[in-house]
Amino acid sequence: MSAKKPVPDSARRSERSRRAIYDAALALVGEIGYPRTTIEGIAARAGVGKQTIYRWWGSKAEVLMEAFLDLNEQNQQAASAHHPDVPLNPVSLPDTGDLEADLKLVLRATVDELKDPRFDAPARALAAEGVANQEFAETFVARLLMPGLDLYAARLRAAQEAGDVRADVDPLIARDLFSAPLAQRWLQLTGPLDHAYADRLVEYALYGISARPKKQE
Amino acid sequence: MSAKKPVPDSARRSERSRRAIYDAALALVGEIGYPRTTIEGIAARAGVGKQTIYRWWGSKAEVLMEAFLDLNEQNQQAASAHHPDVPLNPVSLPDTGDLEADLKLVLRATVDELKDPRFDAPARALAAEGVANQEFAETFVARLLMPGLDLYAARLRAAQEAGDVRADVDPLIARDLFSAPLAQRWLQLTGPLDHAYADRLVEYALYGISARPKKQE
């Protein structure tokens, strides 16, 4: 289809319904919680028939995941409009040549996002569904978690090439030192989640907590 | 009450029912999964009335948590019977003076436990409930997660006193470098969970991944 072809009315109606369903799903999860959110409730709030939802999605978890991905995209577009230097779809973490500063920037921003109520409620609901439901977990991890983890691995590989990270370090393991502690404090409330925590994580992971230098191998 | 007083029949019956309920809860979660496990199903399998369960517990999550804590205790008693030098209720991690070796031992044992199907199904169900349900999360973290995290912090404090960990390191943050990555790989299947992974985590956390020594402060 040509890009110049006018959008038919039915497509415009579909797009309006889709957005109303996303808004309804995010609002309900924030207001009454994920367990009490139902397809029927989302349909009623969005002003569509529930068959419209079932035609496009298989479960409330799938609706919420697409709504959440869409929310992220909207937010990136807004950030990009205000800061034209921010790429629309980040394909890499910042690389100023200062690995410690770059990682602290990213971890602090992640802390801010995890504590933002607009993100917290749906993201927590999706994580819970992923832990409880093996099949959904694969989708959740592939679409929501892994893209971020891959950015960490790529930044660590670049740091290896620059000589800032030891050549024998496996980036697919080392990235877990940054992402997993944030996720645990966020999901299981095992301690304060703030910028100071993000900074200490980066320092400990980069330089180690041992008072002794690593033994020569 | 004196320890010599004979156990009344009603207490013995209660104890038998309690154990039957624990066994039924663990078996059902393993066989049909947590979402399909109900109080009614547990009662039927245990051969007790569901009022017996409701008299003692408020929800299936609470039944399963107590069953899981009991399973852990049984296992420790069995280990203690075979190895009289293993303390019945571990109050500390091993401290041989070799922090790296001690942490690798503990992390490898944790990997083995997380991959043991008898532990995996109920522990995963409890973690999912904890992520979804804020109120249960507090109980779950306090009774199941925090005791283990506290052992890590205590071992790191001992290592600080021995001069093996830098004095400026916060043990309540540093412990997350060991526990959180294991939890993430276990719960979200973001990569292989094996002894090699446990070993690398310990090495990276102790000595850092940076090729450069930490700047003097």
**ipTM summary value:** 0.85
Q: What is the pLDDT of residues A175-207, one digit of tens each?
A: 999 999 999 999 888 999 999 999 999 999 999
Q: Which CATH number fits domain B90-217: 1.20.1730.10, 3.40.1350.10, 1.10.357.10, 3.40.50.300?
A: 1.10.357.10
pLDDT for B90:
61
Over 50: is that where the pLDDT of A92 sits? yes
Q: Helices in chain A by DSSP H: which ranges?
A: 9-32, 39-46, 50-56, 60-82, 99-115, 117-132, 134-140, 146-161, 171-174, 176-188, 195-207
Tell me the pLDDT band of B84, cut-offs 50, 70 and 90: low
Range with the poorest average pLDDT among A91-95, A106-110, B149-153: A91-95
Per the prediction, chain B carries an average pLDDT of 88
Residue of B nearest to A205 (CA): B208
SS3 per-residue string spanning A46-85: HCCCHHHHHHHCCCHHHHHHHHHHHHHHHHHHHHHHHCCC
Domain range summary for chain A, segments of one domain joined by +: 90-207
Question: Nearest-CA distance from B105 to chain A in Å?
Answer: 17
Task: Write the residue in A35, A179, A200 that is nearest to B170 by C-beta.
Answer: A200
Of B131, B169, B191, the CB nearest to A128: B131
- Band of residue B8 on the pLDDT scale cut at 50, 70, 90: confident
Residue-level pLDDT at A118:
87
Cβ within 8 Å, pair B209-A177: yes
Contacting residues for B134 by C-beta, under 8 A, at least 6 apart: none
Q: Which of B164, B176, B195, B215 to mutate to test the interface with A (most CBs of A within 10 A)?
A: B176
| Distance separating alpha carbons of residues A99 and A159, to the nearest angstrom | 7
Go through chain B and tell me how many residues it has. 217
The answer to which of A159-163, B4-8, B46-50, B151-155 has the lowest mean pLDDT is B4-8
Q: Is the pLDDT of residue A215 over 60?
A: no
pLDDT (0 to 100) of residue A12? 79
* Of A7-16, B2-11, B99-108, B142-151, minimum mean pLDDT range: B2-11
> Does B106 score more than 70 pLDDT?
yes
3-state secondary structure of B133: coil
Q: What percent of chain B has pLDDT over 70?
A: 89
pLDDT of residue A57: 93
Distance from CA of A121 to the nearest CA of B (A): 10
Of A174, A181, A211, the CB nearest to B180: A181
- pLDDT digit string (tens) for A120-176? 889 988 988 888 777 888 888 998 899 999 999 999 999 999 999 999 999 999 999
At the topology level, CATH places domain A90-207 in: Tetracycline Repressor; domain 2 (1.10.357)
Stretch A34-39: mean pLDDT: 91
**Are B184 and A176 inside 8 Å of each other by CB?**
yes
Give CA–CA dist A48/A154, Å, rounded: 43
Give the contacts of B76 (CB within 8 A, at least 6 positions apart).
B86, B88, B89, B90
Kindly identify which residue of chain B lies nearest to residue A141, measuring between CA atoms. B188
Q: Which of residues B152 and A130 earns the better pLDDT score? A: B152
Please, which pLDDT band fits residue B1 given cuts at 50, 70 and 90?
Answer: very low
User: Mind listing the pLDDT tens digit for each residue in A72-86?
Assistant: 888 877 776 766 554
User: Which of A132, A166, A181 lies closest to B211 in CB terms?
Assistant: A166
Ranking A5-14, A21-30, B38-47, B202-211 by mean pLDDT, the lowest is A5-14
- Please compute the mean of the pLDDT values over residues B176-191 and round it to a whole number: 93
- In chain B, the percentage of residues whose pLDDT exceeds 90 is 64
What residues in B contact A180, CB-CB < 8 Å?
176, 180-181, 183-185
